[in-house]
Structure 1
């Protein structure tokens, strides 16, 4: 999934009553003349919001007043950082201090248990993935196709098991901000109903939280193009300059195909789309091609060379600035959306065998 908050070695806090929260702890090896800085995680940066000072025995204790739960980090002397989710509970942070990968521990956080569980799951999966990758490379050198296919199937099975376990853990997190980071390991398309419901719950629980507001906004955008949603209208000119609208194809199954003459993967997929169009066009299948080309001559020539015989070709020749690309949140091509007879999205980014299987389900 495509979300703005990355999962680092995140540590977090659960909610309790109280006006401010106390950040306390000990630095084993402080760097003289330097500071401990509390920084807030923004979309593309960490902004300093407070400075903490050591007292006796290299300990610190500092009260922080926050408007809402959010993602933060303690930056120890620009050497070691500890990522945090701060809400309303006091947290103890003990660190080495002078070593980027040094010792640290967090106390006082139920949410940390959630994130440690997720991190442990990920470490286990990554270890298995590395082993499978090594075996795959060895099989590839031996040109052992059967073993390679078996290893790919094993990887897919392990990935599915991981996602199921992550979902299980997410359901125990309630409205913790740890949810936002954990869902990065889910399949956004297939798990969208779950993710959508989580966004609604988080927004209700943390209406002023900046990360929650940003997360809910992202989900709102995805909701418009989720499986089952009504496909947005596209009205653009064809090569003759005549406007064509996607909605005119209602009553048929339609593949909305974003492509371009300059896109090699698109051109490689075109023969497959042509074959499937010829196979199912008489049964009610249509293709609505949206080109992200810049030059009309390139667009028209590619249509002719690739034999794209369907009549529904449109483009505003604006590259990725195309109005249709913006509406459909397309930032890479090829990109496809399969629509049912009512114009609702029933498949996304189906290509090759996946598209063939889906069309066979619908027509055969």
Structure 2
């Protein structure tokens, strides 16, 4: 009887534990200032396919969401007409989200990963406040055409950015074995070198590596290795404005700059215009530029080429699966982006500015 009783108790305990596990869920309580009715949406992050996970009606300016996740997940809580907010969903955690007028939402509660997100955002906010102050100084110096002051302010801005990037790097390394940092790594990995991604990924435990962002990085690392300095980049074929197919490997030149841009990227347009005199100076000596546009509207692409008077090779797939493959194969995380390759299509530099290009190009062409 005692043995049967023990078995019965163990079975009962097992059922209770299973039931508790199934009932475990997250709760989001929201309030929306200045909105009595409407709809709130919870949208999965990129690894969730950007699908809507939950949608609820707002009543009297309030709403509640409940759900369950199989693992820690990142999602965006969105209310129409308001700034969205990132939430790190964990079962048994309660979030209190307040949407304010013309302000970023305030998030209270959540688990360890939500707290890390708050701390990291504070670093970003510190950067923005300091840069905002220098922005006023820069505007005044520009009005006065004070070139000395402008140069000093730019140096000051560069120092602020450098210091805060160091602070962010220290924070990410300190918390390297957390879902928050893994998610941040996966978000930035396309623009990083394979070595830097691997170093950060190695800080994660095996359990984290089996999560969705962990699986994404595992699949991405071999692709990043193909565009590392010294690697031979994969070939691609794309279409010129005239409808001609152009192959990267088919372009013969001592040095090739593969440039990624779009017509609505202001910084891209500035870099293109700054690169033009460099191209004109060195094109005849073995330098070629191949610009791949991430535009999806042909008329905007062609107008930007004409307005900026770009003389080099222009190609684009104007969206679709081929463009998606290009973005992954060439590690395009943000624009502008570029890869410099030699005549054998081996990478010799990544993401260099027009100023850096002007300095290193003579050396790569062997004309110093």
Listed as ranges, the matches of 1:314-333 within 5 Å are: 320=318, 328-329=326-327
How far apart are residue 154 of structure 1 and its match? 1.4
- SS of 1:171 mapped into structure 2: helix
- SS of 1:339 mapped into structure 2: strand
- SS of 1:48 mapped into structure 2: strand
Listed as ranges, the matches of 1:31-110 within 5 Å are: 39-43=42-46, 44=50, 46-48=52-54, 65-72=68-75, 83-87=86-90, 90-94=92-96, 104-106=107-109, 109-110=111-112
Pick closer, same or farther for the CA change 1:182–1:91 going to 2, 3 Å.
Answer: same
In the alignment, which of 245, 270, 275 is matched to residue 269 of structure 1?
275
- SS of 1:230 mapped into structure 2: coil
Map of 1:287 onto structure 2 = 288
- SS of 2:174 mapped into structure 1: coil
The answer to whether the 8 A contact 2:230-2:347 is kept is yes
Listed as ranges, the matches of 1:337-356 within 5 Å are: 337-340=339-342, 343-350=345-352, 352-356=354-358
- TM-score, length-scaled by structure 1: 0.61
Listed as ranges, the matches of 1:168-207 within 5 Å are: 168-180=170-182, 182-183=184-185, 189=191, 193-199=195-201, 204-206=206-208
RMSD: 5.5
- SS of 1:105 mapped into structure 2: strand
Higher helix residue share: 2
Pick closer, same or farther for the CA change 1:191–1:131 going to 2, 3 Å.
Answer: farther
How many pairs does the alignment contain? 315
How far apart are residue 134 of structure 1 and its match? 0.8
CA distance in 2, matches of 1:258, 1:75: 31
The answer to whether the 8 A contact 2:99-2:105 is kept is yes
Unaligned runs of 5+ in 1: 1-17, 52-57
Pick closer, same or farther for the CA change 1:132–1:175 going to 2, 3 Å.
Answer: same
CA distance in 1, matches of 2:136, 2:269: 30
Map of 1:128 onto structure 2 = 130
Question: In the TM superposition, what whole-angstrom CA distance separates every residue of 1:98-143 from its partner, at most 9, and x where no partner exists?
Answer: 9887765216x33234222211211111110100111101110011
CA distance in 2, matches of 1:38, 1:236: 38
Listed as ranges, the matches of 1:238-249 within 5 Å are: 246=249
Unaligned runs of 5+ in 2: 1-19, 263-267
